[in-house]
Amino acid sequence: MKQYPHQVVITDCDHGSVEEEKEEFARLGAELVLAQVRGEEELIRACKDADGLLNQYALLTRRVLENLPKCKVVARYGVGVDSIDLKAATDLGIIVANVPDYCIEEVASHAVALILTLVRKTAFFDRKVKSNQWDFRQGIPIGRVRGKTLGLVGSGKIGLEVAKMISPFGVKVIAYDPYLKEAPEGIKLKDFDTVLRESDILSIHCPLNDSTRHLIGEKEFKKMEKKPLLINTSRGPIIDEKALIQALKEGLITGAGLDVLEKEPPDSVNPMLAMENVILSPHVGFYSEESISELKRRTAQNVSDVLTGRWPGSVVNQGVKGKTRAPLSG
Ligand code: NAD
């Protein structure tokens, strides 16, 4: 039987092929095993000889990690690492790595697509024309893109990319982001109420956490003086959906473009499903053939970096420094 210097196990993944991973580990001369397991016992059995893991949803609990004596690195496909017990990994000297920026371009262009679709009413007209109604007047009023003010709630990687993409359309960009000390180029930082008040289009790009859950609710809708279009490509629960539906019914906002909802998929009775001025997509912002290929390649790269003595691009458990199982330079 062939002897490999390293064994790498993919605990589980739901993407169709693992060609990028195969290529990466063939280059390294490592054995790659696609386990597709989820339960604790199965994980321990499948990964007990692994030097590194690639992980998507399978829960890597303390018990699992404690039973993987050779494991030096766990690389998560994507941004979130809630599937991995970070404290246990750190205690055991296992590096946890992620890929925080593989789909910035995709989410940003999705947000811009939602904005343009709503302003130019292209989805609305598509439905009309296909049901034999050829009449542009049905969509009136239709505004001009140039001259609008876009307000970002959160101006990190994706928010900033949205600003860059939309600025050439002649859109002015303002943002509320309490953690930024300096305004990024081309963006004016304002307080939350000013952004709510001045925006013609409001686009959500902050993370979901205890302080942003229902950040946009009844009180905030009442402060939106320009009856904006509301775009959400971040996380559904940042907007109080009951209040959003009410705001749409009362005309406090002009429309909404949502890639994410409080409940995904929505109930069939969700009133937004029947609203002409609401466009929805099924949490697809992250996806393109290119972004998924990049995600697979960079997740595999994170593992091979550690197995060849280097720090991976993005280490989640910084506390592991100084006690890694893998002998690393730097
Ligand atoms: P990021 O960390 O680069 O930026 C987030 C920004 O939000 C930061 O600048 C931060 O200071 C700011 N922020 C934090 N709390 C805030 C608050 N209370 N109010 C206003 N701003 C606040 O993250 P990113 O890469 O730009 O991603 C943003 C979000 O996009 C992610 O958290 C994720 O939920 C979402 N996302 C969605 C998809 C999708 O498929 N639709 C894919 C990837 C990411």
pLDDT, averaged per 10 consecutive residues of the chain (330 residues), comes to 90 94 96 97 98 97 98 95 95 97 97 98 98 98 97 97 98 98 95 98 96 97 98 97 98 98 97 98 96 97 97 97 90
pLDDT at residue number 330: 67
Outline where DSSP puts E strands in the chain.
7-10, 31-34, 52-55, 73-76, 95-97, 149-153, 172-176, 188-189, 201-204, 229-232, 255-258, 278-280
Tally of structural domains, the chain: 2
Q: Check whether residue 90 and residue 236 sit in a common domain.
A: no
330: in domain: no
Q: Check whether residue 167 and residue 267 sit in a common domain.
A: yes
325: in domain: no
pLDDT at residue number 306: 97
- C-beta of 232 in contact with ligand 1 (< 6 A): no
Q: Check whether residue 124 and residue 237 sit in a common domain.
A: yes
**179 Cα: distance to centroid of ligand 1 (angstroms):** 11
- C-beta of 153 in contact with ligand 1 (< 6 A): yes
Q: Check whether residue 94 and residue 113 sit in a common domain.
A: no
Q: Check whether residue 64 and residue 165 sit in a common domain.
A: no
- C-beta of 178 in contact with ligand 1 (< 6 A): yes
Question: Which atom of ligand 1 is least distant from the CA of 209?
Answer: 15
Q: Check whether residue 215 and residue 240 sit in a common domain.
A: yes
328: in domain: no
* Chain position carrying tokens 């995904």: 264
Which residues constitute the domain of residue 255?
Answer: 104-280
Between the alpha carbon of residue 270 and those of residues 1, 8, 127, 306, the distances in Å are 58, 45, 20, 47
283 carries an active-site annotation: yes
- CB under 8 Å to 11, separation ≥6 — which residues? 35, 37, 43, 46, 47, 53, 54, 55, 56, 58, 60
137: in domain: yes
Q: Check whether residue 244 and residue 293 sit in a common domain.
A: no
For residue 193 the two structure tokens come to 């109420």
Task: Pick the catalytic residue from 235, 241, 262, 298.
Answer: 235
Q: Check whether residue 127 and residue 90 sit in a common domain.
A: no
Q: Check whether residue 97 and residue 177 sit in a common domain.
A: no
227: in domain: yes
264 carries an active-site annotation: yes
Which residue lies with its CA nearest to atom 32 of ligand 1? 207
327: in domain: no
**140 Cα: distance to centroid of ligand 1 (angstroms):** 34
Question: Which atom of ligand 1 is least distant from the CA of 154?
Answer: 21
Angle, alpha carbons 62-309-41 (nearest 5°):
25
Q: Check whether residue 85 and residue 128 sit in a common domain.
A: no
190: in domain: yes
Task: Pick the catalytic residue from 41, 264, 276, 290.
Answer: 264
50: in domain: yes
Report the CATH number that the domain containing residue 239 is assigned in CATH.
3.40.50.720
Q: Check whether residue 169 and residue 296 sit in a common domain.
A: no
Q: Check whether residue 14 and residue 132 sit in a common domain.
A: no
